[in-house]
Amino acid sequence: MTTVALMGNPNTGKTTIFNQITDTYAYVGNWTGVTVEKKMGNIKHSEIVVTDLPGIYSLNPITKDESVAINYLLTDDADIILNVTNAGQLKRNLLLSIELLEFGRPTVIALNMIDDLKRSGIYYDINTLSEKLGCHIETTNARNKDGVKELRDELLNMPADELPDGSALELNYPFMVKQAIRQASEKLISAYDMKPAFARWVAIQYINKNKIIRKYAVKNDLKPLLEQQGYYDAQNFENKIFNTRLSFIDETLTSATKNLESTKNVEMTSKIDKIITHPLLGLPIFILIFLFMFKLSFDWIGTPISDQLDALLSGPISTYADKLLISIGAMPFLRSLIVDGVIAGVGGVLTFIPQIFTLFACISILEDSGYMARAALVTDRIMQMIGLNGKAFIPLIIGFGCNVTGIMAARTIEQPKERLITTLISPFMSCSARLPIYSLFVAAFFPKNQALIVLSIYFLGIAVALLMAKFYQVIFKVKDSTVFIVELPKYHIPRLDIIWRGTWDKSKGFVKKAGTIIFAGTVLIWLMSNFGPAGFVTDIDNSFSALLGKVLLPMFAPIGITSWEAISALFTGIMAKEVISSSMMVLFHTSSQTALIAAFGQMFTPVAAYSMLVFVLLYVPCFATIGTIKSETGSTKWAAYSVVSSFVIAYAMSFIIFQVGSLLF
The yes or no reply on residue 334 touching another protein (CB under 8 A) is: no
CA dist., res. 290 & res. 382, Å (int): 17
CA dist., res. 442 & res. 581, Å (int): 13
- Comparing CB distances to another protein, the nearer of 35 and 269 is 269
- Return the ∠ at Cα 651 (arms to 648 and 652), rounded to 5°: 85
> Which residues in the 267-286 window bind another protein by CB under 8 A?
273, 277, 279-280, 282
Q: Is the dihedral of CA 412, 418, 423, 427 positive or negative?
A: negative
CA dist., res. 424 & res. 630, Å (int): 11
> Which residues in the 128-167 window bind another protein by CB under 8 A?
none
82 CB-side CA count, 13 A? 32
CB of 487 to another protein, least distance (A): 5
Q: Which conformational region is residue 170 in: left (phi greater than 0), alpha (psi within -120 to 50 degrees), or beta? A: beta
CB of 182 to another protein, least distance (A): 25
List C-alpha distances in Å: 606 to 447, 460, 596: 11, 17, 15
163 close to 155: Cβ distance less than 8 angstroms = no
Chain center to CA of 605: 39
- Comparing CB distances to another protein, the nearer of 35 and 384 is 384
The interface region with another protein, picked from 39-47, 240-248, 425-433, 446-454 by CB under 8 A, is 240-248
The interface region with another protein, picked from 12-20, 83-91, 422-430, 592-600 by CB under 8 A, is 83-91
- Comparing CB distances to another protein, the nearer of 88 and 621 is 88
Q: Per-residue contact track with another protein, 344 to 383, x per CB under 8 A?
A: -----------------------------x--xxx-xx--
Question: Could you report how far apart the first and last alpha carbons of the chain are, in Å?
Answer: 70
Question: Which amino acid, 244?
Answer: T
CB of 109 to another protein, least distance (A): 16
> Which residues in the 402-441 window bind another protein by CB under 8 A?
414
> Which residues in the 110-129 window bind another protein by CB under 8 A?
120
The interface region with another protein, picked from 142-150, 239-247, 426-434, 533-541 by CB under 8 A, is 239-247
The interface region with another protein, picked from 52-60, 149-157, 165-173, 330-338 by CB under 8 A, is 52-60
- Comparing CB distances to another protein, the nearer of 268 and 640 is 268
- Comparing CB distances to another protein, the nearer of 492 and 589 is 492
CB of 269 to another protein, least distance (A): 8
Q: Looking at 31, 49, 92, 220, which residue binds another protein (CB under 8 A)?
A: 92
CB of 388 to another protein, least distance (A): 13
- Comparing CB distances to another protein, the nearer of 63 and 646 is 63
> In 3-state terms, what secondary structure has residue 137?
strand
The torsion defined by the Cα of 584, 588, 593 and 596, in degrees rounded to 10, comes to -100
CB of 60 to another protein, least distance (A): 7
Nearest Cα residue to 83 out of 116, 105, 61, 68: 105
Q: Looking at 7, 15, 48, 57, which residue binds another protein (CB under 8 A)?
A: 57
531 C-beta neighbours (distance < 10 Å), count: 15
CB of 387 to another protein, least distance (A): 14
CB of 59 to another protein, least distance (A): 10
CA dist., res. 56 & res. 9, Å (int): 5
Own/partner pairs, 312-317, CB within 8 angstroms, 24+ separation: 313/343, 313/347, 313/348, 313/350, 313/351, 313/591, 314/344, 314/347, 314/591, 314/592, 314/593, 315/592, 317/343, 317/347
> In 3-state terms, what secondary structure has residue 41?
strand
Q: Looking at 7, 36, 96, 440, which residue binds another protein (CB under 8 A)?
A: 96
The interface region with another protein, picked from 14-22, 85-93, 107-115, 189-197 by CB under 8 A, is 85-93
The interface region with another protein, picked from 163-171, 215-223, 242-250, 426-434 by CB under 8 A, is 242-250
- Beta 535-536 vs 531-532: how paired, if at all? antiparallel
Q: Looking at 62, 289, 330, 552, which residue binds another protein (CB under 8 A)?
A: 62
CB of 216 to another protein, least distance (A): 18
Q: Looking at 88, 106, 406, 521, which residue binds another protein (CB under 8 A)?
A: 88
Q: Looking at 126, 226, 246, 552, which residue binds another protein (CB under 8 A)?
A: 246
Q: Per-residue contact track with another protein, 474 to 513, x per CB under 8 A?
A: ------x-xxxxxxx-------------------------
> In 3-state terms, what secondary structure has residue 175?
helix
CB of 254 to another protein, least distance (A): 15
List C-alpha distances in Å: 560 to 262, 569, 613, 632: 72, 15, 11, 35
The yes or no reply on residue 89 touching another protein (CB under 8 A) is: yes
CA dist., res. 334 & res. 36, Å (int): 42
Number of residues that bind another protein (CB under 8 A): 37
List C-alpha distances in Å: 387 to 294, 380, 473, 524: 27, 10, 6, 43
- Comparing CB distances to another protein, the nearer of 275 and 660 is 275
Burial 346-376 (b: 16+ CB within 10 A, else e): bbbbbbbbbbbbbbbbbbbbbbbbbbbbbbb
User: CB neighbours of 468 closer than 8 A, spacing ≥ 6?
Assistant: 424, 425, 428, 649
- Comparing CB distances to another protein, the nearer of 220 and 384 is 384
CB of 486 to another protein, least distance (A): 4
- Beta 49-52 vs 136-139: how paired, if at all? unpaired
The yes or no reply on residue 390 touching another protein (CB under 8 A) is: yes
Nearest Cα residue to 141 out of 154, 132, 151: 151
> Which positions touch another protein (CB under 8 A)?
57-58, 60, 62, 88-89, 91-92, 95-96, 120, 242-243, 246, 249, 273, 277, 279-280, 282, 373, 376-378, 380-381, 384, 390, 414, 480, 482-488
